[in-house]
Structures are given as C-alpha cells and as structure tokens.
Amino acid sequence: MSFADKFKELRKEHHYTQKDIANILDVKPTTISAWELGNNSPRMDMLQKISNVFNVDTGYFFDEKSNQTVDLDDDVIFTYEGRKIPKEDLETIKRFMRGSRK
C-alpha cells in the first residue's frame, strides 16, 4: 500500500475531511489532495507531524517489504532531505557504489 493510500485511509478512519486535516497540519487543502492522489509526498518533518496526528510511527508509511529498485543510470530525480541531489554528487555516489573513489 502506498503512502497516498495509507494517508487517505487514516484520514477517513479519523473522520477528517481534506480541509480538516489541512487545517490541522497548516497546509493547503490542495496539498492534501496531491498527497492522496500520489502526485506529491510530504517532507520528513511533515511526515512526523502526520504520524503524530494519527498516532502512528513514521515507519507505518513505508512499505518494508518493497523490493523496488531504481537504476542509477535512469532519468530519475534523486533527493535527500527534500533537496535534489546535484548531478556531480550523484556521479560521486555511483563511483563509490562501484568501489572506485576516483
């Protein structure tokens, strides 16, 4: 189950509308809609707020059984702490993973 599905399920279980939860989290209702549609995901700090509201661990939102892989050579945008990893840093990561530090 995706973050979007889990978030929407929790919201409904707690009888919150999208507007209700947007007010609680101090975000726009369109942000909630984007999360539920899977068009966007919250940053880690917001994920912690969401977890607190629903009284669940942040790990609940991550599928621990997921074996999804991503090829580092694909045209994928990688982020760390909500910021895009620059191409030169991504190249360093690739070299490190290959076992070459040069």
Predicted confidence band at 71 (pLDDT cuts at 50, 70, 90)? low
Confidence check: pLDDT of 50 > 50: yes
Give how far Cα 71 sits from Cα of 5, 23, 62, 78, Å: 25, 38, 20, 11
- Is the confidence at residue 67, as pLDDT, over 60? no
Across 19-100, the runs of DSSP E, i.e. the strands, are: 79-80, 83-84
Domains of the chain: 3-61 (1.10.260.40), 69-102 (no CATH)
Task: Kindly report the pTM of this predicted structure.
Answer: 0.61
